[in-house]
Amino acid sequence: MTGLAVEQDAVPGGDPGPPAGAVTALQATLDELETLSRFATGSAPERAEAAAEAARALGRPDLEQRARLVRADLQRRRGAVAEAGRTASEVHRWASETRDRYLLARSSFVLTAVLQEVGDLAGALEHAVSSIDLLDETALPALRIDHLVRLADVLGLARDPAAPERYTAVLRLAEELGDVDRQLRILNNRAYTDTLAGRFDDALVYSERLQQLARAHGRPLDVGDLDTVARALMGADRLVEAEAALRLGLAPEVLDTSSDGDAGADFLLTLAEVQRRRGEVDRAQDTLAECVRRCDLHGLTSIRVRARAEQAELHAARGDHRAAFEEHKRYVAELVELQSAQREARARALQAVYETTEARRQSRRWRELSLRDPLTGLYNRRYVDEELPRLLADGTGRVWVALLDLDHFKRVNDTCSHAVGDEVLRAVATLLQETAAPGGAGSFAARLGGEEFLLVLPGVDAGAAAAHLEAVRRAVAAHPWDGLTHGLPVTVSVGAASTAEVPDRTPAQLLGLADARLYHAKRAGRDRVVVDG
């Protein structure tokens, strides 16, 4: 086994026990692997596998479990989140059964990162706190720092006001240890989470400290660090400096050695945004084209979807609002598809972590999210396709469906921007939810796509349905839109139909009739409700 000396010591007067020298060497190897400041692709996976084999040969299951956790964290960093979660969960159960405090701390450490990546910040926070509480005071200082950083990261991603204090405390420990690599990582993570929370002044302070420390020790910043620096500068509207920072990452020896697994595509997307905001539309287009090329080459779906949003902004910057609108529609469609796939993947990862009743609960939660429109939080068309046929097949009571369409919505997008258009859609969704529906149980609102919404009202008569829809129309028209749309009005046209008019009670017939009445409302002047022929 490479790098591991196995000596054949014996226990006097009995069977040969685990060779003391070999155990000591193995423990030293595991200490080193566990405290690598940043796992490089290098030889770490092979060394972890060799350590696991050596532990099995020595009859030391505790050391084998340590090696398994090292491999699990490597797998997670390479995208195999579900597999990493399954391994960490298995080690956590083994440590619970054997009351191995150290392995409980280390498995909680890995589970923190797994749960963080699948979006379960509450679960991640619970394991992060446990990983610190369970870590003995005799643990290696670098290891304690890593556990504390992971807690700070979870708090930072959750926009918790305690995050800055946590970063300050752990940075002090890294400085006392003289660990420059860890100091750089803490400064980067602090600045990054400050930008997420909108604390751009703080982000600038810590991104500048990041650069100063790197210069003082001759450490080049990687594209992830440079991206953080640029985002802090962007938040302060210092676009010239942001672009200058990003240019440092364009050198092939920096850009093409990205350790984030994105081949520099995410970095290029940030650069394109900075260039567009500076008015350098042609340069931004060239940068975005290279970003898209790398996305297509490496299968970077998530970044490719965000590149569509940036492309829409570039079309708008050129004044080609039709192209911007079409690109924005492609962005929304692909975003919905991507988020649905991500949620299903997260559900699988959570199942791998828990494999218990808790896993089923979390899977149901992610399924619920997959049925939600990511922009407005309303149900999406997939939910409508599942729920409406069930309601209609029940056969008991009248069911109303109403199609709502924002009037002249394209004018909002073209005049104000797609970002403002998205805010309008979110506000309308809130109004739909805040306007109490008659009948109660079973009613729901959904976004079908674009500016079209659906209301389903089971168990109400014609008068109550008409009154509710009129209340919704008035609420939208009366909303204070001026601050958002700069004077452009926002109104809604509504067409509704009920199962009393559709004997077969099929979704297609009911929605078809509602759509015809929506068309009638549009032709009659918009900003009105049509509930009968």
Indicate if the pLDDT at residue 315 is higher than 60.
Answer: yes
Domains parsed from the chain with CATH numbers: 374-530 (3.30.70.270)
Confidence (pLDDT) at 297 = 85
User: Minimal CA–CA distance to 35: which of 202, 159, 174, 167?
Assistant: 174
Higher-pLDDT residue of 36, 191: 191
Whether 229 contacts 212, CB under 8 Å: no
How does pLDDT run across 25-38, given as a tens digit for each residue?
999 999 888 887 55
Tell me which of 369 and 324 has the higher pLDDT.
324
Q: What is the mean pLDDT of residues 316-343?
A: 85
Going by their DSSP bridges, the two strands 529-530 and 444-449 should be labelled as: unpaired
465, amino acid identity: A
Distance CA 171, CA 190 (A): 10
Express each pLDDT in 216-227 by its tens digit: 999 988 888 999
Q: CA 155 to CA 148: how far, in whole Å?
A: 11
Q: Which residue has the tokens 């556990």?
A: 147
Write the pLDDT tens digit of every residue in 111-152: 998 888 877 788 888 889 989 988 888 889 999 999 999 999
Q: pLDDT value at position 5?
A: 28
pLDDT at 374: 79
Q: Which of 60-69, 181-190, 336-345, 364-373 has the lowest mean pLDDT?
A: 364-373
The closest of 302, 349, 303 to 119, measured between CA atoms, is 349
Encode pLDDT of 424-468 as tens digits: 999 999 999 887 677 656 789 999 988 999 999 998 889 999 999
Cα distances (angstroms) measured from residue 292 to each of 79, 279, 333 = 21, 20, 18
If you write DSSP's letter for every residue of 355-404 in order, what string do you get?
A: -SHHHHHHHHHHHHHHTB-TTT-SB-HHHHHHHHHHHHHH-SS-EEEEEE
- Residues 65-119: pLDDT tens digits? 999 999 998 888 777 788 888 899 999 889 888 889 999 999 999 999 888 887 7
194 pLDDT more than 60: yes
Q: Please say if the pLDDT value at position 367 is more than 70.
A: no
Tell how many helices (H) and how many strands (E) occur in the chain. Answer: 24, 5
The DSSP string of 283-343 is HHHHHHHHHHHHHHHHT-HHHHHHHHHHHHHHHHHTT-HHHHHHHHHHHHHHHHHHHHHHH
Instruction: Give pLDDT, residue 13.
Output: 41
Of 521 and 350, the one with more pLDDT: 521
Assess whether pLDDT exceeds 60 at residue 387: yes
d(CA 263, CA 248): 16
Better pLDDT: 156 or 393: 156
What pLDDT score does 381 carry?
Answer: 87
pLDDT of residue 310: 93
Cβ-based burial of 282 (10 A; exposed 0-12, middle 13-18, buried ≥19): exposed
Residue in 399, 395, 392 with CA at minimum distance from that of residue 506: 392
Q: What is the DSSP letter of 530?
A: E
3-state SS, 43-92, equals: CHHHHHHHHHHHHHHHCCHHHHHHHHHHHHHHHHHCCCHHHHHHHHHHHH
The answer, yes or no, to whether residue 233 has pLDDT greater than 90, is yes
